[in-house]
Amino acid sequence: MRILLLTHYYHPELGPPQLRWSALVRDFRAQGHEVHVVAPPPHYPHRRLLSGTHAPVGAIETGQHGETVHRVAWRETSGRAVSTLVDQCLSAAHGTVTAWRRRRTIAPDVVVATVPALPTMGAGWLTARLLRRPLVLEMRDAWPDLAADARNPGRSAKQMIRWYAVAAASRAVTFVQHRADLVVTTTDGFTEVLRRRGVGRVATVRNAHHPVPGLQEPGSTDRRGRVEGDPLHVVYVGTVGRAQDLETAVRAMARARAAGADVRLRVVGTGARLSLLPPLAQELGVPVELVGPVPRDEIHAHYRWADTLLVSLRGWRALRWAVPSKLYEALALGLHVSGMVAGETRAIIEETGAGFAVDPGDEEALARQWVDLARTGTHPDRARMRAWASEHASETGTSTTYLGLLTDMLAARPERVPAR
């Protein structure tokens, strides 16, 4: 099988989409399949070309697993929404042009477009049409529902423009979803939502847990020698955005400390709302340590420091169908989870005995749980956690499922001659 992947995020960048597709491509290549990746040079999350990389626009590289990587246009961004969108649109447009110009070399059997960058959806749809190949659309988030939850109509001209832009993007997402030959989601909940909306062929391929350098042994996240009265170490790893609502976690921390629990929070990552945390922590007088983004081979130090991993999402309807990839990592490592979540994420935490889950936004309940943990310690059901992760979220399992879906889709589709 010859697979063409369109993505805005790819190795050597680090992040959940990059780790997912690096593992998938590795396993696809091991099974003898040819993979072509169309992606911009690595520039996430720093919004500029990663240090030590040299990937000029138009270059054709051999990836770490033997895949062929076609580098397309991009631009440095300020981190603001409009600037990021321009970068993504530029890469998506040039990706389609590149796939067309190199169609005889790539000659794909299937086109896969993976989103979190929404313009990649349009590039995937147009590329598949031009090349007369089936389209697999991978939805990492619950679009368009996420847009409906996040948008705020407001009254200013800027807010109104943004509202109409998001509404237009939502209609475009729905258009492509209904025209894809296969839509892949990462949660069962969103798969069922799309089926109820009449999307013809939908399947779930969960995110997988990936090895954490330095934490290969079971139980190696345990903080040794903790006794009653020691501080409770809470770590958050990932994006700090509006959807994660870390401000509520900081307020819960203040409540817990007022109740006598020495709770300390460490935030590892970056995002649009990271700058809101220092002034809030200062106002409340609580110790919040902001580490910023770190290389993956340094994550083990923060997991070892932690007693519990915070998984936090707002109470938006679309986020009930989301499962942060860090949860799978915690399950595989046997790391206790403090959840402020609903829906599928909450169900997994409770099913696996990974820790506790309180309602989104409930700072009082989160504070009570942290006070209890500070007194009694954490006691996750590590055997059950690891068994669930092995069954539902292993790298081998997800790649096998994905390849099976691609094979079945191609077998059921009438042969069409690709464009020349």
Token pair belonging to 272: 């649009």
If pLDDT is split at 50, 70 and 90, which confidence band does 156 have?
low
Least confidently predicted of 86-100, 171-185, 406-420: 406-420
Q: Using pLDDT thresholds of 50, 70 and 90, give the confidence band for residue 158.
A: low
Question: Does the structure show a pLDDT above 70 at 163?
Answer: no
In the chain, % of residues over pLDDT 90 = 76
Contact in structure between 331 and 242 (CB atoms under 8 Å): no
Whether the Cβ atoms of residue 289 and residue 264 lie closer than 8 Å to each other: yes
Confidence of residue 80 (pLDDT cuts 50, 70, 90): confident
Encoded tokens for 242? 């509006």
pLDDT at position 301 over 90: yes
Ramachandran angles phi, psi of 241, nearest 5°:
-130, -170
Confidence band for 44, pLDDT divided at 50, 70 and 90: confident
pLDDT band with cut points at 50, 70 and 90 for residue 265:
very high
Sign of CA pseudo-dihedral 329, 334, 339, 342? positive
pLDDT (0 to 100) of residue 160: 64
Q: What is the pLDDT of residues 212-241, one digit of tens each?
A: 998 865 555 555 455 667 899 999 999 999
The length of the chain in residues reads: 420
- Residue 375 pLDDT grade (very low, low, confident, very high; cuts 50, 70, 90): very high
For the chain, report the end-to-end CA distance as a whole number of angstroms.
18
pLDDT given for residue 154 in this prediction: 58
Torsion of CA 212, 218, 222, 225, to 10 degrees: -130
Given a cut of 70, is residue 11 above it in pLDDT?
yes
What is the structure's pLDDT at 361? Answer: 97
Q: Is the pLDDT of residue 288 over 90?
A: yes
Torsion sign, CA atoms 230, 231, 237, 242: positive
Contacts of 146 (CB under 8 A, 6+ apart): 243, 316, 318, 319
pLDDT exceeds cutoff 90 at 54 = no
Q: Which domains does the chain have, with CATH numbers?
A: 2-208+394-412 (3.40.50.2000), 232-391 (3.40.50.2000)
Which of 80-94, 102-116, 401-415 ranks highest by mean pLDDT?
102-116
Q: Is residue 43 predicted with pLDDT exceeding 80?
A: yes
CA-CA distance, 58 to 414, in Å (whole number)? 33
For residues 12 and 23, the answer to whether their CB atoms sit within 8 Å is no
If pLDDT is split at 50, 70 and 90, which confidence band does 7 have? very high
Number of C-beta neighbours around residue 32 at 10 A = 7
pLDDT computed for residue 398 by the predictor: 97
pLDDT bracket for residue 46 (50, 70, 90): confident
Bridge partner residues of 312 (DSSP) = 340
Give yes or no for a cis peptide into 293 (omega within 30° of 0): no
Please identify which residue in the block is written with the tokens 């993976």: 114
Bridge partner residues of 268 (DSSP) = 237
Average pLDDT over residues 15-19: 92
What local confidence, expressed as pLDDT, does residue 78 receive? 80
Q: Is the pLDDT of residue 47 over 80?
A: no
More confident position, 169 or 344: 344
**In sequence order, which residues have a C-beta less than 8 Å from that of residue 11 and are 6 or more positions away?**
18, 21, 22, 42, 63, 64
pLDDT for the residue numbered 155: 62
Q: Average pLDDT for residues 315-344, to the nearest whole number?
A: 95
pLDDT (average), residues 193-213? 94
What pTM value is reported for the model? Answer: 0.91
Retrieve residue 179's tokens. Answer: 């025209």
Average pLDDT, the chain: 91
Residue 55 pLDDT: 77
- Of the two residues 86 and 225, the one the predictor is more confident about is 86
Taking a C-beta distance cutoff of 8 angstroms, is the pair 354, 336 a contact? yes
**Of 37-46, 115-124, 151-160, 341-350, where does the model show the most confidence?**
341-350
Chain segment 174-189, per-residue pLDDT in tens? 999 999 999 999 999 9
What amino acid occupies position 350?
E
